[in-house]
Amino acid sequence: MTPLPRWVEYGLMPVLNLALAFLLAGLVVLLIGESPLEAVRHIIYGAFGYGEGIGFTLYYSTNFILTGLAVAVAFHAAQFNIGAEGQAYLGGLGAGLACLALDRHLPWWAILPFAMLGAMVFGMVWGAIPGWLQARRGAHVVITTIMFNFLAASLMGYLIVNHLKVPGNASVQSRTFEPGARLPKLEETMRLLGLDIGGAPLNITFPIALLACLAVWILIWRSKLGYEIRVFGANPTAARYAGIRGVRITVTVMAISGALAGLMAVNPVMGEQNRIFLDIPGGAGFVGIAVALMGRAHPLGIVLAALLFGVLYQGGAELAFEMPSITRDMVVLIQGLAILFAGAMEQLFRPALLQLFAPRGPGRAG
Amino acid sequence: MRLLSLLAAILAAQQALAEPAVVYSIGGKFDASFNQAAWVGAERFRTETGQGYAEFEPESVAQFEQALRRFARAGNDPVVAIGFLQADAVTKVAAEFPDRRFTIIDMVAEGPNVQSVVFREHEGAYLAGLMAAMASRTGRIGFVGGMDIPLIRRFACAYAQGARSVNPAIEVYVAMTGDTPAAFADPVRGAEIARGQIDRGADVVMQAAGGTGVGVLQAAAEAGVLGIGTDSNQNGLHPGHVLTSVLKRIDVAVHGAFTAAQDGSWKPGVRSLGLAEGGIGIALDEHNRPLVTPRMAAALREASDAIATGRIRVHDLYTDGPCPWG
């Protein structure tokens, strides 16, 4: 593919895609007789206008950063991991079991490493098995990861109902962790910035997610393994010729991807609900696919895309509050348009942009 | 003294002015089940009183607390939360706003300003089992549950108990559709399971499976046997092929919370709604009248009274231990 200048590829194109998505969403809002500008104002205010809103925006973004990273790492080896949802669900089990086992004995900072380890190991296993099936048996990873999402949901349902549930209580959830085992909110840090996050569950997982971004950047662009992953992703045949073992790369990359997705569950399990509950990821695994696409599988792009979806989630809730004629389904529609244009149809403007910006090739010179 | 009563009147007027609010559970307002029943109750309040209400449909569990807090801060009163998922959010937010009133439906939450409305669904399931056993000619009846959770298991257990009270030798086939929330929205699978039970001789099949149940009732009607509906009145779906429906009146609960707050009869604490309170009911209408024999109607009345007065104790899986009727 002819390269575009970097600022066009990574800056202009996503912005154009988004602009088109919002334009369409605005038209729909207009159709139902509301003012699109008013709607945008509510979204922006809801996401950034006050401390609690910012807290919620960043809380949701934390989930999307981690699942986005998970999908992106697999992208680099040309593996399409649709299973971040299931890996995160299992990660929730790992994190939750660590908390349930230790919360009566240790403070949160001592439990956190175990919870993170549990989440990552459980997610890793759930990612590595489809990776192995792909590498060894040729079972396509898209199919197997989708199926592993269902397996995860069934397994978790079974475990919660039959083993983790509190006897005599109808709620389908484990017992609540002791207060000492709950992750501290970033209230103090945000107060330094003059913000009161109120009831928002923004917690220490957010900086952890940012560290994970750095780790992924180092892994992909500054390590030998990362180089092998990228070579394998670009051309598996050439990679084999260069002595890179495809099976090892596929399984490793899916394991890392699963671990990152699993890590996401620490945020809701230990930072928000403080228990193991049904549907822990709540769709963040699927949003992660859009985030990775939109962020061009680069950590910086992923942070920005995750932030955008955090804004849409939190601002969308504000919108539904303030403009009752815009229902929840309308908000989902706006989010869907953003995914459609920024993710699925990201190449829409490429031909036109190529005409405008592509460097004139040397083809004619000869 | 006069000053005091004046003050009370002003306070009452202010309370009458405060709009009530409802926070639905996950799944949206028009889920043809739980949330929709809540909405129906709120709408009835609106048409009766001409007074509006605020509402919110959360997309994720993280939004419950946010929504409750917003309504409380905006002065909405009472704030009604639908569904067991909101219990902790209600407990927490109610503590932050001690002068607002909260009602949670289908679960118990804590707090001096919290009213919890729970249903004794198993009482209705017992009556459904009794009717199924009386209507069955083969001595075999079926039960198709949605997601395998305690709520549905409790339902199935009471159904079996009611059936055994008529015919101790009756066989009750119990099947659950799945172990994820999707099991409440799979009518095709529901029909398949119901057909399986009918093939094994069941001639009455009860559903407690949300959207999946539509398929169960369909399969029963197609096979020429009887189905039993739940939650809302489903007798009219296949007239003559739905023996009855166990009604769970979420609408009554929401409407009751709104009006009680308005007329001052709202009280904190647990309100348990069963047959006696009209929160659970058995649907009898023109669609199933030919199916309910006088003998069945008499037995139904007798059992209802016995349950209401405590002479029959329906097994409650939450408190009474494992189901003795398998």
ipTM value for the complex = 0.71
- Split at pLDDT 50, 70, 90, the class of B63 is confident
Supply the CATH number for residue A74's domain. Answer: 1.10.3470
Any B CB within 8 A of A325 CB: no
Q: Are A122 and A114 in contact (CB under 8 A)?
A: no
Query: CA distances (Å), A201 to each of A54, A58, A94, A272, B254, in order?
Result: 11, 9, 20, 6, 29
For an interface test with A, give the residue of B30, B121, B149 to mutate (most A CBs within 10 A).
B149
Residue B4 pLDDT? 54
Q: Distance (Å) from the C-alpha of residue B182 to the closest C-alpha of chain A?
A: 10
More confident residue, A264 or A353: A264
Q: Does the pLDDT of residue A328 top 80, yes or no?
A: no
Q: How many Cβ atoms from other residues are within 10 Å of residue A20's Cβ?
A: 18
Instruction: Answer whether residue A9 shows pLDDT above 70.
Output: yes
Residue B110 CA to residue B48 CA, distance in Å, equals 31
pLDDT of residue B84: 79
Question: How large a percentage of chain A has pLDDT more than 90?
Answer: 58
Residue A361 banded pLDDT, cuts 50, 70, 90 = low
The model's confidence at residue B303, banded by pLDDT at 50, 70 and 90, is very high
Q: Name the phi and psi angles at A197, rounded to 5.
A: -80, 0
Would you call B171 helix, strand, or coil by DSSP?
Answer: strand
What average pLDDT does range A289-301 have in this prediction?
Answer: 89
What is the structure's pLDDT at A362?
A: 53
- The minimal CB distance from A199 to the residues B69, B85, B154 is found for B69
Distance, in angstroms, between B222 CA and closest chain A CA? 30
Given this model, what pLDDT does residue B5 score?
57
Quick one: closest CA in B to A319, which residue? Answer: B56
Instruction: Tell me how far apart the alpha carbons of residues B244 and B275 are, in angstroms, rounded to a whole number.
Output: 15
pLDDT tens per residue, range B5-51: 555 554 444 444 579 999 998 777 877 677 888 999 999 999 999 99
3-state DSSP call for residue B230?
A: strand
Assess A49–B contact: CB distance below 8 Å, yes or no: no
* Side chain identity, residue A338: A
Q: Is A165 on the interface with B (CB under 8 A)?
A: yes
Give the mean pLDDT of B227-237.
90
State residue A6's pLDDT score: 80
Chain A residues whose CB is inside 8 A of the B28 CB are: 328-329
Q: Give me chain A's average pLDDT, please.
A: 89
- Which part of chain B has CATH 3.40.50.2300? 2-119+250-273, 121-248+293-309
Interface of B with A (CB under 8 A): 28-29, 54-63, 65-67, 69-70, 84-85, 87-88, 93, 107, 147-151, 154, 178-182, 318-319
Residue A201 parent element (H or E): none
**A191-221 pLDDT, tens digit each:** 888 888 887 899 999 999 999 999 999 999 9
Nearest CA in chain A to B149: A161
Give the per-residue pLDDT at A288: 94
Q: What is the mean pLDDT of residues A337-353?
A: 79
Sign of torsion, CA B157 B163 B168 B169? negative
Residue A340 lies in a domain: no
Does residue B313 have a pLDDT over 50?
Answer: yes
B70-94 pLDDT tens trace = 899 889 999 999 987 888 889 989 9
Beta strand B226-231 with B171-178 is: unpaired
- The minimum CA-CA distance between A332 and chain B, rounded to whole Å, is 9
Domain-embedded: residue A352? no
What is the pLDDT at residue A330? 81
Q: B56–A279: do the CB atoms touch at under 8 Å? A: no
Q: How confident is the model at residue A365 (pLDDT cuts 50, 70, 90)?
A: very low
CB contact (8 A) between residue A172 and residue B149: yes
- The domain total for chain A is 1
**Closest Cα in chain B, distance from residue A231 (Å):** 39
- Identify the band that residue A332 occupies on the pLDDT scale cut at 50, 70 and 90: confident
Chosen for mutation from A279, A280, A319, A330 (greatest number of chain B CBs closer than 10 Å) is A279
Binned at pLDDT 50, 70 and 90, residue A336 comes out as confident
State whether B59 and A317 contact (CB < 8 Å): yes
Distance of CA A106 to CAs A92, A101, A272, Å?
A: 19, 10, 19
**A331/B59 touch (CB, cutoff 8 Å), yes or no:** yes
- Asked if B149 and A328 come within 8 Å (Cβ–Cβ), the reply is no
Mean pLDDT of the A33-54 span = 90
Which residues in chain B are closer than 8 Å to A171, comparing Cβ atoms?
84-85, 87, 107
Of B61, B178, B318, the CB nearest to A170: B318
Structure letter (DSSP) for residue A182: S
Structure confidence at residue A84 as a pLDDT band (50, 70, 90): very high
The DSSP letter of residue B117 is E
Residue A128 lies in a domain: yes
Residue A239 lies in a domain: yes
* Chain A residues in contact with B93 (beta carbon < 8 A): 199
Looking at CA atoms only, how far is residue A3 from chain B in angstroms?
A: 40
| A56 Cβ under 8 Å from any chain B Cβ | yes
pLDDT range class, residue A88, cuts 50, 70, 90: very high
Average pLDDT of the residues in A16-28: 88
Provide the domain limits for residue A256.
57-308
Query: B-chain residues within 8 Å CB-CB of A277?
Result: 61
pLDDT more than 70, % of chain A: 96
pLDDT of residue B108: 87
**Beta strand pairing call for B269-273 and B114-119:** parallel
Nearest CA in chain A to B53: A324
Q: What is the mean pLDDT of residues B247-265?
A: 92
Domain B121-248+293-309's class?
alpha beta
Q: Which pLDDT tens digit goes with each residue over A129-154?
A: 999 999 999 999 999 999 999 999 99
Q: How far is CA A236 from CA A128, A232, B281, in A?
A: 19, 5, 65
Question: Which pair of tokens denotes residue B189?
Answer: 């699978």
Q: How far apart are CA A315 and CA A297, in angstroms?
A: 25
Pairing of strands B226-231, B204-208: parallel
Q: What is the mean pLDDT of chain B?
A: 89
Q: Which member of A170, A279, A324 has the closest CB to residue B181?
A: A279
Chain segment A96-135, per-residue pLDDT in tens: 999 999 999 999 999 999 999 999 999 999 999 999 999 9
Give backbone dihedrals phi and psi of B191, rounded to 5 degrees, phi first: -65, -40
Of residues A259, A258, A266, A261, the one with CA closest to residue A207: A266
Six token digits for residue B276: 């006696």
Compare CB distances from B181 to A56, A150, A278 and report the shortest one's residue. A278
Q: What is the pLDDT of residue A364?
A: 45
In sequence order, the β-bridge partners of residue B118 are B272
| Residues in contact with A28: Cβ distance below 8 Å, sequence separation at least 6, in sequence order | A330, A333, A334
CATH class of this structure's domain B2-119+250-273:
alpha beta
Q: Is residue A130 part of a domain?
A: yes
Is A177 a domain residue? yes
Residue A366: inside a domain: no
